Structure 1
Amino acid sequence: MKTFGREFTVREKVLLLVMVIIMLGALYYLMVFEPVTSEIHQAELAKQSLQDELLIAESRAAQIVNMRNEMEASEQAGRSFTYMPSYNASNIEIDYLHDVLETNADDYLINFNQITRSGNQIRRHFSLSFTARSYDVAKKIISELEASEIRCLIGDISVSSSEESVIDGYVGISCVATFYETMYDAVEDSELPEDSAQSSQAADDTGE
């Protein structure tokens, strides 16, 4: 190889070869190795993050299930069948709900669905959802509703939370419940439904 009219010496050729190898190595490092290594590292970080999120989600789900089971077990164990007021006790029942929820819940929604009648028993069904600042407060609300002097049975309890720790943070509770009343000493009004027991008996008699 010649340059400016003379050939490269062996030493110069070796140096040029070494420089070319170094340049190729640098190009490989900058254009291939480093980007690929960076992508692998980012993928590993993303994988670890997903695993962490999955563990947190599984932990929260387990906490929610345990909380719901504990509430239902507490409800069953502490259920006391108190008196049934005469129909129509809706104002007393609504006032009691507001007293308990306004004292303990951050917000709440009550929706009375329907009234059913079977013989002398009246069932006033409603759905309830509320937010409490902790699981203990939510459990207290459920316990107070169950401990009402007016017979109130609660079921289908659902627990939710946006916090990482369900136990320590705010929780949302949804459930269905029923107040019980009696027709003894009742004053009938336009809201009183038909007696399903009599309707069923009438249907049986007609069928005969």
Structure 2
Amino acid sequence: MWRGDAPTQRNPMELVTIKGATKRMRKPRSLTVEEFQLFLEHLEEPIRTISLVCVCFGLRISECLGLRWSDVDWLNSKLRVERGIVRQQVDDVKTIYSGKLMSIDAAMLEALKTWRQDSQFSLDEDWMFASPVKLGRLPVSYPWVWLMFQQAASKAGIGKLGTHSLRHSYRSWLDAVGTPIAVQQKLMRHGDIRTTMNIYGDVVTDEMAQAHSKVVGLALTRKVIAN
């Protein structure tokens, strides 16, 4: 069970300001599948599952950290994205299009179940990535996640890596597995999506579920065949 290494009295990362950690200075890069696998090898929980969630659903880091266990529909394999965390403040998702119901591949669902079993904060109302330092009242902080990303990327020898790079990788991988552009736009949940791309509302189509499963297959090194 992961309980964290920092003392519970105070999160040391609250005292640290990382230049460039909260402001995007350049266009994020996309990782190849091989680079992501190298990166994943140097991650421990909960960062490993955070990375899988970001790259397999294309979530912004604020949306990932804003997840609660109650957002997972375990019986129907669906994930609801409803909120984000910015500077440890809970807010709505970035745009009205960002809040969507998303399909969860069986392998990804198993990864979430495993993390829930290992986490000391596993109640429905708990944050999926709750901070032991904050006694579970808040998720782990963005600066800490950013720092763990940099350390793992350095060990993996893949250069500097921002948290938004996983969302960009998701977009690249969707394209690589032959996902139609209309399906990509819905899965990316962009605010400027055309009206014709939103006629199904929150319905998760078969094409969206299949595209998600293919990306999960890449992230978890499962054989993927593009249509």
The structure with higher relative contact order (CA 8 Å, sep 6+) is 2
Both proteins in one fold, TM over 0.5: no
Give 1 or 2: higher strand fraction: 1
Shorter-chain TM-score range = under 0.3
Give 1 or 2: higher helix fraction: 1
Quick check: which has more Rg, 1 or 2?
1
Normalised by the length of structure 2, the TM-score is 0.20
Normalised by the length of structure 1, the TM-score is 0.21
